[in-house]
Amino acid sequence: MGRAEPRGLPGQGGAPTAQGAPFPVHAARPYSFVRRFICALLDWAEDPEEPASVEHVAGQMFTDPTSVRAFYEDTSYGKVTLTGNVFGWYTLASPKSPCSYDAWASAARARATAEGHDLSGYDHLIYAWPSTACPWAGFADQPGSTVYVDGVHSFGLDLRTVAHELGHNFGVGHANTLRCVDTSPAKG
Ligand SMILES: [Zn+2]
């Protein structure tokens, strides 16, 4: 079901529809999509800066009027919603440089599990930390379940970055490229 119908050009061949007839519209399918994610906040013993509170970031992710959840609910007309938790801060003993994002994520999972959190019930894990030498603002599996955000600020996380990278996890690529590494939060 649901193949794309070519529009053709006025007066040319294509589907033999009556002049002015509307193009076929596929009936809306019942659909809803709830994703659970954790945002884990990390910093380093050598530079233990925690510029935003867990509560503030939880508001940004889930409850503020401009939250990531609100963004997905608005843009999906309520079909997609997000729930979850924010954990941390987890202060890591490992060095802040080089950009060992995978090892940092592993350490954060170990800390969360040691605190008694069961991570198996979550669809996505977002790891976020204050700015480092990592050469990107956000990085994500496409599709997948992992997002890394380099840059927790005094205002919290850049929500454009979080929403953008979660989109990659959901399988959405850029409009004209399959790259999934971003060098700027403003990048499309
Ligand atoms: Zn991207």
Identify the pLDDT of residue 183: 54
Segment 137-146, tens digit of pLDDT: 999 999 999 9
Identify the pLDDT of residue 32: 79
Structural domains for the chain = 32-182 (3.40.390)
Identify the pLDDT of residue 22: 60
32: how many CB neighbours lie within 10 A of its CB? 9
Identify the pLDDT of residue 33: 86
Query: Across all residues in the chain, what is the average pLDDT?
Result: 85
- HSE-CB for 112 with a 13 A CA cutoff: 24
Distance 159 CA to ligand 1 centre (A): 13
Identify the pLDDT of residue 69: 97
Residues forming a β-bridge with 83: 36
Distance 115 CA to ligand 1 centre (A): 32
Segment 5-39, tens digit of pLDDT: 333 333 333 444 455 556 566 566 667 789 999 99
pTM over 0.85: no
Distance 168 CA to ligand 1 centre (A): 7
23: how many CB neighbours lie within 10 A of its CB? 9
Residue 97 tokens read as 């440089």
Distance 15 CA to ligand 1 centre (A): 37
Distance 23 CA to ligand 1 centre (A): 33
Distance 75 CA to ligand 1 centre (A): 18
Segment 100-113, tens digit of pLDDT: 999 999 999 999 99
Distance 96 CA to ligand 1 centre (A): 24
Residues in the chain: 188
**What SS3 string covers 18-41?**
CCCCCCCCCCCCCCCEEEEEEEEE
8: how many CB neighbours lie within 10 A of its CB? 11
* Alpha carbon separation from 81 to 14, 73, 176 (Å, rounded): 39, 5, 26
DSSP 56-102: HHHIIIIISTTSHHHHHHHHTTTSEEEEEEEEEEEEESS-S-S--HH
Q: What percent of the chain has pLDDT over 90?
A: 73
Distance 145 CA to ligand 1 centre (A): 14
Segment 82-99, tens digit of pLDDT: 999 999 999 999 999 999
Segment 151-180, tens digit of pLDDT: 999 999 999 999 999 999 999 988 875 555
Distance 160 CA to ligand 1 centre (A): 10
The distance from CA 182 to its chain's CA centroid, rounded to whole angstroms, is 13
Query: Torsions phi, psi of 87, nearest 5?
Result: -115, 155
Residue pair 58/85 in contact (Cβ under 8 Å)? The answer is yes
Distance 126 CA to ligand 1 centre (A): 15
Mean pLDDT lowest among 18-22, 44-48, 128-132? 18-22
Distance 188 CA to ligand 1 centre (A): 7
